[in-house]
Copies of this chain bind each other. A is one copy, B any other.
Amino acid sequence: MMTALGDPTRREIFERLSARPSPVGELAASLPVSRPAVSQHLRVLRDVGLVRDEPAGTRRIYSVDHAGLAVLRTYLDQFWSRSLTAFAAHAQREETEDDANSD
């Protein structure tokens, strides 16, 4: 999922979809890559649950999947809380060492 957003083009696509759901052709027209390339990127994004697609006549409207975005946010928050905990533990240890030095 993070790997999916690692690619700049894919991030750009995801960014545009977050602003407005769009069909494939519209995305490809405003991007420096071909339409098949966009299709492949969308497939990757869909496979990891970051976007959804909905048929609309002969077109498919892609939009960001809020559930996937929530997973991503939760994933990041884990880093956040864990690093804070580690930092607190580090501070605690520093303090203990200071106590040891003070005698």
- For residue A72, give the distance in angstroms from its CB to the closest CB of chain B: 6
**How far is it, in angstroms, between the C-alpha of A78 and the C-alpha of B17 when the chains are bound?**
12
B83 touches A72 (CB 8 A): no
Name the B residues within 8 Å of A66 (CB-CB): 83-84, 87
Chain A interface residue bracket vs B: 20 to 34
Q: Which residues of B contact A64 (CB under 8 A)?
A: 79, 83, 86
Q: A7-B6, A79-B15 are in contact. Are A21 and B69 (CB under 8 A)?
A: no
Residues of A within 8 A of B (CB): 2-3, 5-8, 11, 14-15, 17-21, 63-64, 66, 69, 72-73, 76-80, 82-84, 86-87, 89-90
